[in-house]
Structure formats: C-alpha cells, structure tokens
Structure 1
Amino acid sequence: MKQLRSSPGARLHHNGGAGLARRLSGLVTSAPARTAAVMFVLVIALFTALLAMPFSSATGEPTALVDAAVTATSAVTVTGLTSVPTADHFSLTGQLLILAAIQLGGLGIVTLGAWLTMLVSRRLSLRSKILSVESLGVSGLGEAPALLLTVLIFTLSIEAMLAAVMLPVFIGQLGPGQGVFHAVFYAISSFSNAGFTLSTATLDHPLIMTTINVGVFAGSLGFPVVYMLYRMLFRKARMNLHTRLTLEVTLILLIGGAVLMAVFEWNNPDTLGSMGTTEKLHSALFASGMTRSGGFNIYDVADQTDQSLLVTNVLMFIGGGSGSTAGGIKVTTLAVLLLAILTEIRGDEHVRIHRREISDTTVRVAVAVVAAGALLVLTSVVALTVVTGKDLQTTLFEALSAFGTVGLSNGLTASAPESGQWILAALMFIGRIGTISFAAGLATRHRPTRYRYPAERPIIG
C-alpha cells in the first residue's frame, strides 16, 4: 500500500496555523483577569447581536446597534441602565434574552465557565482554579470547586425562594401568565443586583419591596461570604476577617444610608413627603439598599434633595461585597482604607482589627482601587459633559451609577447621544470587571523586581 505524505508546503501551512492558534490562545489565557475580560466581551457581543434582531423588538423592527449594545452590556454586567424601555421596546423573546444575560452576569461568566469545566472533567484544571480564585476571592485553590458548587446551589435556591414569595402578589395584579414571568424576572434581577424593571408601578407593594431588598442584600454580600457562612453553618468553621468586615460595613452603610435618606427626604413631597411614617421608613431602607447595587426605585431619583443625591453618589461609588454581583470599589476596600487612616492617626505601626493584622500589600491594593476608580469616574464625567452638554451633577450621577453597576438613572443614558451611550457602556464593563482586574488583564506578564534602590521618604502633607 502506498503511503501518502504531506508536502512541505502543507506541513508549513499546518504548523503555521497551529502556531498562530497557540499564540492567540496564549495571548488570551496567559492571565486569568484577561480571560475573564475576554469572556465578558464575547458574551456581550453575542447578546448585542441577538437583541439587535427584529424578533427581539416589540415592533418587529431591528434595534439600533448602540441601543442593543447598551442593553446587552447593562444586562451582562448586571447594571440596569438602559437607553430604551425594557417593557415597551423589547418583545417577550427580547425580555427572555435580557433575563438570560442577567442570570449569566449574576453567576459570573468566569464562574459558569469553570463550573462547566468541572462538570465535564469532574475536576478543575489548574488554570480554571486560578481563574476561579481570582474572580471570586477565595483564599486557596482547593476551595474553588466547593465554592463553585455553593455559588450555583445558593443562587438558584435564593432566586426560587424570592420568586415564590412574590408570586401571589404578581398573580393577583397581573394574572397567572404575566404574574409568573414577573416573579421570576424580578427574583433573578434582584439577586443579581441588575435593577432591570418591567414596570415600576408593580414595585410599590410592601411585600415586593421587602423581597427585592432581601434579594439585593443577599446578592451584594459576595459569594466568598456566602461560602464562609455555609461553612460556619454546616462545618462549624470560624468566621474569617473578610466575612466579618463585609457584614459589618454592609450593615453600617445600609442602616446609615436609610437614616440619612429619611432625614433628607422626610418632607419632600416628590419622594417620601406624601407617605405615612411606616411607609417612609420602609421606603428609606429600600432606597438605601438600592443605591449601593440594586438599582430599583419607587420614585424618580432626580426628585431627591441635593443632600440625598450626594449620599446616593457616595454609596454607589462604594458598591457591595467583593466577589459579588455589585460593582464599585467594594465595602472591604473601604474598610481597609479607613482602618489604614485610623492606624496612621493613632501612630500604630500595623493595621489591626478583630485580633488580625492586615498586610501592607492589601492596604496598597485598596488605595490603588480607590484611586483607579476615582480617576476612571473623573475621566468619564469629563467626557460625558463634553458630548452631552449636561451639567456636572447629572453626568456625575450617571457615571457613578454605571461604574458601580447600580442602574439608577436620571435619564441621561436614554437621552445621551450615541457617543455618550458608548462611554456609559464602557464604564459599566470596566466597573463590572473591576479596575484592578481590568488593568491586570491588559498586562502581558508580571515582571518581578530583581533589585531595589535606596529608600527615601518624601514629605507628605
């Protein structure tokens, strides 16, 4: 039998193609943060294409590319800012696509990819474990598979419970078909901290408000905290410092924000002024929870007093817990930064809290995150004021909402020109990926320092 041999040209072409594929694969996967960013981009591009199709529109006409891109980015990054109304512009198919994008974003594209890998191979590869550790913030590679399982079970269980609680109210308001869809939609949207709504008129029911607030609070804690609480409950583990700081700061911000909202809006006829005392307190607590990541609202945020808008801006910039569906600089970043400041004021040498010591590296990362976030928001605000012609207050609010993936809007996303909408879409993307992860993803490799210079101390202040 005559043996067939490939020609040198064919082998060269094959080897060249394989080499190119390996180089492209290495470029994408050489760093976990870059892989996460690329995965998010690909998923956003897919949903942009689907939402732009005629079948996703209520009128049967194709949706403009920028509107589809803003909606897809907002859904995958679980933000809630939209340039077109979700309920009126999109068909049932389009709304289901948005819901699927929210669910993927809530679980995290990285988490879902690693989870599918584990299902197929029954064990995570080293690269997938590293990716999961960096994305979710667990302390060791060995915890990644158990954490991913906890993420999936906890997410689906909480969403099912939220939907079950809201189901009777929505069925009574909208009927069986729409009632079931609304209950599932708001359960996923609230736990994912997405802020997408089908109709704000259905949110003013006390049970719906409470359920959404609980869902947003649970989603904003972060999966590492959830995993720690699970281990404490079933394996008698001790609470780690990250979980304790997250719970403490989250509760302080939630209650403190509610008190300030109630004080500043108590007599405002456009917000809380026309409500009874109990309803005012309930609405203030709801508003405080939504400003940090949820994005739902029962009144127009533009009607708030200037003091409440300032409080809202601060809370949106802080965001939720690390490894959660929320954006912003994260509550643990704020905690570490405040502890470092307090340590300097006291004159102590090390940052200590709850009989634990926080490393200098962690403090430097916290400072870098805050500085990078502030610089990003500042740059975006300048760009938005130029392209939209709006005032500083309007553009700052919308930029912080996009960066914190909150979703509260004063109408700028819908009214901005295409250039402004692209800026907000990019801000949502960077806010979801995280400023440090996004910067790390752009670096091709980490170069260790092989030598050091003599130390000096510049004068500060």
Structure 2
Amino acid sequence: MTSAPPRRRKREIFRHPGQVVVAAFGATVLVGTLLLMLPGTRAEGGGADPVTALFTATSAVCVTGLVVVDTETYWTSTGHAIILALVQVGGFGLMTLASLLVLFVSRRLGLRTRLNAAAETKSVGLGDVRQVVRGVLVVTVVVEVAVAVLLTGRLLVQGLPPGRATWLGVFHAVSAFNNAGFSLYSDSLTRYLTDGWILLPVSVAIIVGGLGFPVMLELGRRTHPRRWSLHTRLTVLMTGILLVGGTLFVTASEWTNVDTIGTLDPAQKVLAGFFHAVQPRTAGFNAWDYSEITQETLLGTIILMFVGGGSAGTAGGLKVTTFIILFFVIVAEVRGDPQVVAFDRRIEHRVVRQALTVALLGIGIVTFATMLLTELTDFALADVLFEATSAFSTVGLSTGITPNLNDPAKIVVVVLMFVGRLGPITLVSALALRERPRRYTYPEGAPIIG
C-alpha cells in the first residue's frame, strides 16, 4: 500500500505585509488611471491620455499634488470627483495601513521589543485592529467636516453661490487633511495670500493630518505631555521646531521680495510665511509663485520637504522622527555616550540603524532621480532638485516645470511619488521583521573615519 504524496504548501502571494500595502496602492493607481481615461472626465471631450491619467492618479493616490495639467480647466466635474475620491482613499489607506503595520511588526518582534513597542505604541490600540480603523475614520471625518464648514462659510461671505462654495470647501478640506495639495483653482491658493480665514484652516488641517494617526489619537486621549509616549513627544517636538523655525526662516528670506510678500504689511507677511512653512513639509498648496522665491527660500523649502511630517499619517518625506533620532545619535556621539537617549528613554540600536538606512537611501534616491531628470530635461539643476524632492517627499510643490516635462521625465516623477510614498513604510517594516538574534559574533574592526 503506497502512502499518499505529501501535500504541497500553498505558495503565498505576499510574504510580507509591506507587499500588501504596495499591491493595494498599485491597484488603486491602476483603477484611478483607467477611470481618468474614461470619456467625460476631460473638459475638451473624451478621456485623458495614458501618461496624464497615470501621473494624475499616482499623484492623487500618493497624496502628492503635482500636476501636469491644470486641474481646474482640464478636468470635468466628474474628473474632479474621481481625483477627490482617489485622494481620500489614498490618505485614509495610508493612515490605516501604516498604523496596522505598526501593530503587526510590534507583535512579530521578540518579547522584550514587543513589550517596549506595546508601551510606546499603545496609542494605536494594540488589542483591537478595529479600533485603529474606526479611529482613523472618526478623525478623518471630524477634521474634514470642520475645515469644510469653515472654508464654505468664508466662501459664502465672499459671495460665491452655496453649491459652488460647498464643493470648493469640501474639496480643499479633503485635499488639505490628506496633505494632497490638489486645488480647484488654477493658481492654487495664490488669490488668498492675505486671507487668514482660508490659509489658517487649511494649515491646521495639513498639520493635523501630517502628525500621524497614533499621535492624533494619543493627543486626543491625553492632555498632559508627561503621559505622552516617546513617539508622540519626538513628533510634536520636531513638528514645533520646524513650524517655528520654518516660519521665521521663510518670512525673513522673503521679507523684501516684492514678487512674493515684499509689499505686504508685517502681519500679512508672517501669515504668508507661516503658510509656506507648513506646505513644504506635507502638502503642495501655494499662495505665492515658487518660481519667484529667493534662492535661500528655495534651499530651505527643499530641506523642509525632505524632512516631511509624522509617521503613519498623510505627510510625506523621511519623517520627523527619523531626523530627530539622528540628531540624538549625533549628540550621543559628540558626548561619547555609548547609548542614544531621548527624554530619558534609550533608543534601541535597531531603530538607529533603521533611521540611518532610511535617511541615506532617501538621499541616494533623490540624488539619482535628480541626475536622471537633468539628463532627460533642459531645466536648471535647482528646479530639477526641487521637483525631485517634492515628488519623493509627496509634497506637490513645483517651480512650474511639471507641465513641461517630457513623457520619460513624467514617468520618472511617477516612480518617485510611488516610491517616496510607500518606500519608507515598507522598508522600515521589512527591516524590523528581519531582525533576528545572532548566535555568534565576528571579531571587531575599526576602519578610520574622517
């Protein structure tokens, strides 16, 4: 009697949860591209060409905001609705999937690391996945509705018809909270450069969305900073530093520039400076022409874009926690301290290695993309570097060269947006899950540094 052959294990399509995230967003981009190619989405009739549809869908799903066509005039109301839906799906999916990855990774690590992770990420509800999804949904609805009401009210005061005012308020509220930067105005928000009733609600929505869901939820449940987790402390601290420092720097750099804010009164200059210190880190709205800013502001904006916002949120960049951890690494090395300490907490070596890896890979990707775009186009290096950083950090700001890119350059930017949006999330989770104890050690080596 012959024994039955052993059953083959079913091969898993996705061996890593990060692959699920990439596949989900890739499928959403594909669906969005096909929808934007349908007849009735383009104002001139028919649908968009494949490259334009792909670029716009990727920019919307990855909540970037870079556009190769004028959103207001190129698309019909149907096209606008599709773009808004893609932005909402992209932003909600990012916060939800990124938060769930935190839960998954923390449970798959060793016991000690898992306990530390549970202590530091309890703000996302480790015991209940549904709590994460429900929390993201509630925060999204509350913030978007509140901002939409404020914007709609302001537009009604300015004399817009109720239907138009409501649609503009909803569209820009959703775009702002999801850090997308899409606008139904051809000049973005330039016409509202001195209108605090427009700029401030949009800025608040961007900041809240850029903090990340774990931080948002924890701030909503705990009012005393002493009870915040280390992640929340680091995120809030770095966000505050960048907002204050960015506002001072941008305002000072543009103070006498008559092409931006040089002719405004001091209060209006500070308002515009604050708004444009918020935008580079997270969203792509602009209330001045970035082709007219000073070289100092251009460089400062590139740095702010690269740093980005909070983890598990709608903001892009390499994330504020990555950079503040690297700052504490430098402090520890300068002091000769073998341990990296922040707020009386020792930062694990694996977290330090992850921060270094993400930062250096980000620099490498932006550098390579800048070189590639320089070869493919005839634009100045500063403009190309600005564009590449904006795409990788999913910010959406541009000096005006995006519509003039050729098709190969557009594809490069599409890849940059997709990699920049999902790369850091999947990379960090993959590095964390590959963490395993080594049963032996190699002899030490000490190459000369510097």
Shift, 1:138, TM fit: 4.0
Contact kept in structure 2, 1:413 and 1:424, CA below 8 Å: no
Out of 105, 130, 137, the residue aligned to residue 104 of structure 2 is 130
Out of 145, 148, 155, the residue aligned to residue 170 of structure 1 is 155
In the other structure, the counterpart of 2:312 is 323
In the other structure, the counterpart of 2:222 is 232
In the other structure, the counterpart of 1:208 is 198
For 1:416, the aligned partner's letter is: L
Contact kept in structure 1, 2:105 and 2:433, CA below 8 Å: no
RMSD, matched Cα: 2.8
Distance in structure 2 (CA, Å) of the matches to 1:269 and 1:196: 26
For 1:390, the aligned partner's letter is: F
For 2:23, the aligned partner's letter is: V
Question: Can you list the C-alpha shifts for 1:21-45, whole angstroms capped at 9, x where unaligned?
Answer: x53xx122x1011110010000000
Question: Can you list the C-alpha shifts for 1:391-446, whole angstroms capped at 9, x where unaligned?
Answer: 21011000000111111011222111001001101111111113361586699988
Question: Can you list the C-alpha shifts for 1:210-248, whole angstroms capped at 9, x where unaligned?
Answer: 110111111111111012112315x99921111011111
Distance in structure 2 (CA, Å) of the matches to 1:443 and 1:242: 16
**1:197 correspondence with 2:160:** no
Distance in structure 1 (CA, Å) of the matches to 2:433 and 2:53: 31
Distance in structure 2 (CA, Å) of the matches to 1:443 and 1:206: 43
Distance in structure 1 (CA, Å) of the matches to 2:197 and 2:99: 36
For 1:427, the aligned partner's letter is: L
In the other structure, the counterpart of 1:75 is 60
Distance in structure 1 (CA, Å) of the matches to 2:183 and 2:13: 38
Shift, 1:88, TM fit: 0.6
**1:414 correspondence with 2:403:** yes
Structure 2 vs 1, CA of residues 43 and 446 (structure 1 numbering), >3 Å: closer, same or farther?
farther
Out of 415, 434, 437, the residue aligned to residue 426 of structure 2 is 437
For 1:176, the aligned partner's letter is: P
Question: Can you list the C-alpha shifts for 1:65-105, whole angstroms capped at 9, x where unaligned?
Answer: 11111100000010000111111111001100000011111
Q: Matched residue pairs, number?
A: 428
Distance in structure 2 (CA, Å) of the matches to 1:340 and 1:320: 20
In the other structure, the counterpart of 1:248 is 237
Structure 2: unaligned runs, 5 residues or longer? 1-6, 109-119
Look up the SS of the partner of 1:406 in the other structure. coil
Shift, 1:61, TM fit: 2.1
Question: Can you list the C-alpha shifts for 1:356-386, whole angstroms capped at 9, x where unaligned?
Answer: 1111111111111100100010110011001
Higher normalized helix content (fraction of residues)? 1
For 1:224, the aligned partner's letter is: P
Shift, 1:173, TM fit: 4.0
Distance in structure 1 (CA, Å) of the matches to 2:72 and 2:439: 58
Deviates most, 204-213 or 428-437:
428-437
Structure 2 vs 1, CA of residues 50 and 443 (structure 1 numbering), >3 Å: closer, same or farther?
farther
Deviates most, 139-148 or 71-80:
139-148
Structure 2 vs 1, CA of residues 43 and 281 (structure 1 numbering), >3 Å: closer, same or farther?
same
Distance in structure 1 (CA, Å) of the matches to 2:332 and 2:288: 41
Distance in structure 1 (CA, Å) of the matches to 2:237 and 2:82: 36
In the other structure, the counterpart of 2:273 is 284
In the other structure, the counterpart of 1:186 is 172
Contact kept in structure 1, 2:284 and 2:396, CA below 8 Å: yes
Distance in structure 1 (CA, Å) of the matches to 2:250 and 2:427: 33
For 2:104, the aligned partner's letter is: I
Contact kept in structure 2, 1:258 and 1:287, CA below 8 Å: yes
Shift, 1:168, TM fit: 1.5
For 2:137, the aligned partner's letter is: L
Question: Can you list the C-alpha shifts for 1:232-282, whole angstroms capped at 9, x where unaligned?
Answer: 15x999211110111111011011011011111000010110111110010
For 2:135, the aligned partner's letter is: T
For 1:98, the aligned partner's letter is: I
Structure 2 vs 1, CA of residues 131 and 156 (structure 1 numbering), >3 Å: closer, same or farther?
farther
In the other structure, the counterpart of 1:335 is 324
Look up the SS of the partner of 2:13 in the other structure. helix
Deviates most, 370-379 or 356-365:
356-365
Out of 21, 31, 41, the residue aligned to residue 26 of structure 2 is 41
Shift, 1:457, TM fit: 2.1
For 2:355, the aligned partner's letter is: A
For 1:212, the aligned partner's letter is: V
Distance in structure 2 (CA, Å) of the matches to 1:189 and 1:74: 12
Contact kept in structure 2, 1:316 and 1:404, CA below 8 Å: yes
